């Protein structure tokens, strides 16, 4: 593989189900098959991952899709040209609330989104403290929480202050009553529910469109300097994605997630059975029908930034920024 511009690369990730294709590609030696030595680096938060990617400490990263247009706009504390060649997951986040709060609001588990929104907003309007956390300001999780509250009152949704917590800290945060609810990807909603702290009361696919949630991200500069290396990286991860879609037995994948401390609870075909099969379904359907980035997804993300941050963009600027977020080598943006 002498044509590769770089043989050793650092990939950052946050412990969530949707980094599974990257981890599986490493476990199955798919990176090695492409001539790559990959160092997987577990990041503490999305902010640290963003900074380390932008400043070159990471070559690539498991990244929030909304970070890309936010960085292009300079909204995300720094201005950077981040691009993606590959979608890792389509939005599959959930909103969880403390169990005692659910009981007080007469909210059964898996409540209708409009009803749960109404109950929470009414409580907040009574000046009762309800702290809600998202994983990062520029994330589908933040937008999902805003849109959920907006089902009841759009103006209130815009003014409501939210807390921020890294995904792995969500369970601890709700267990210690640092916040009363959160929006995060799995397996953290399931873990908090299994441990008796919260119930899931809303699902992102019922609130926002099926847009890219996590993507493989690189800087534009790195992509331009390492096109063959990036192609090899994407090829390896796509091979892992194909495995995960079609494998009948995911026990080895499950064990890998346990080893990486992404799944930290007892769950099997005999114990917490519905949660076990839910996680398996998420793994098999992580990126939908196609892992190719779509222009429409980034336009929607820019619409959300404009809506909640009062940013004004022309349609031409919006199209240009969305296009810049998508790395193009041999693919056609759709």
Under 8 Å between Cβ of 249 and 233? no
Architecture in CATH for domain 93-206: 3-Layer(aba) Sandwich (3.40)
Architecture in CATH for domain 8-90+211-272+289-324: 3-Layer(aba) Sandwich (3.40)
Look at residue 104 in the predicted model and tell me its pLDDT: 95
Look at residue 75 in the predicted model and tell me its pLDDT: 84
Look at residue 105 in the predicted model and tell me its pLDDT: 95
Domain limits, CATH 3.40.190.10, in the chain? 8-90+211-272+289-324, 93-206
In which residue ranges of the chain is pLDDT below 70?
A: 1-2, 110, 330-334
Cα–Cα nearest to 261, from 186, 171, 168, 134:
168
Look at residue 2 in the predicted model and tell me its pLDDT: 53
Look at residue 263 in the predicted model and tell me its pLDDT: 96
> What distance, in Å, lies between the first and last C-alpha atoms of the chain?
31
Look at residue 290 in the predicted model and tell me its pLDDT: 86
For residues 247 and 237, give the distance between their C-alpha atoms in angstroms, rounded to a whole number: 15
For residues 334 and 330, give the distance between their C-alpha atoms in angstroms, rounded to a whole number: 13
For residues 79 and 302, give the distance between their C-alpha atoms in angstroms, rounded to a whole number: 15
Strand-by-strand arrangement of the 93-98 sheet? 163-164, 132-134, 181-185, 93-98, 198-203
Look at residue 125 in the predicted model and tell me its pLDDT: 93
Query: Can you read off the two tokens belonging to residue 262?
Result: 């992404």
Look at residue 87 in the predicted model and tell me its pLDDT: 98
Residues in the chain: 334
DSSP labels for 277-324? HHHHHHHHTTTTT--S--HHHHHHHHHHHHHHH-----HHHHHHHHHH
Strand-by-strand arrangement of the 37-42 sheet? 37-42, 8-13, 60-64, 212-219, 82-90
Query: Can you read off the two tokens belonging to residue 142?
Result: 């933040």
């Amino acid at each position: 593989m002498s044509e590769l511009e770089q043989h050793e690369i650092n990939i950052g990730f946050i412990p969530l189900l949707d980094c599974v294709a990257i981890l599986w590609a490493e476990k199955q030696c798919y990176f090695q098959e492409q001539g790559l030595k990959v160092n997987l680096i577990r990041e503490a938060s999305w902010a640290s991952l963003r900074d380390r990617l932008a400043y070159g400490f990471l070559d690539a990263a498991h990244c929030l899709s909304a970070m890309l247009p936010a960085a292009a706009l300079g909204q995300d504390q720094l201005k950077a040209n981040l691009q993606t060649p590959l979608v890792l997951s389509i939005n599959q986040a959930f909103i969880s609330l403390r169990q005692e709060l659910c009981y007080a609001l007469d909210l059964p588990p898996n409540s209708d989104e409009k009803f749960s929104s109404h109950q929470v907003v009414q409580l907040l309007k009574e000046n009762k403290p309800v702290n809600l956390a998202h994983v990062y300001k520029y994330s589908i999780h933040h937008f999902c929480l805003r849109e959920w509250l907006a089902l009841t009152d759009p103006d209130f949704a815009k003014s409501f202050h939210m807390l921020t917590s890294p995904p792995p800290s969500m369970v601890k945060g709700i267990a210690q009553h640092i916040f009363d609810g959160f929006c995060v990807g799995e397996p953290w909603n399931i873990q908090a529910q299994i441990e008796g702290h919260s119930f899931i009361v809303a699902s992102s696919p019922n609130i926002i469109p099926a847009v890219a949630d996590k993507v493989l991200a690189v800087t534009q500069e790195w992509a331009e300097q390492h096109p063959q290396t990036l192609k090899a990286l994407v090829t390896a991860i796509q091979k892992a994605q194909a495995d995960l879609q079609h494998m009948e037995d995911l026990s080895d994948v499950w064990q890998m997630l346990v080893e990486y401390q992404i799944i930290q609870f007892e769950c099997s075909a005999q114990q917490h059975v519905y949660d076990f099969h839910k996680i398996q379904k998420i793994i098999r359907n992580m990126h939908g029908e196609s892992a190719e980035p779509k222009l429409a997804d980034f336009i929607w993300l820019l619409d959300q930034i404009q809506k909640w941050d009062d940013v004004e963009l022309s349609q031409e600027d919006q199209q240009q920024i969305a296009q810049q977020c998508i790395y193009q080598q041999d693919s056609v943006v759709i």
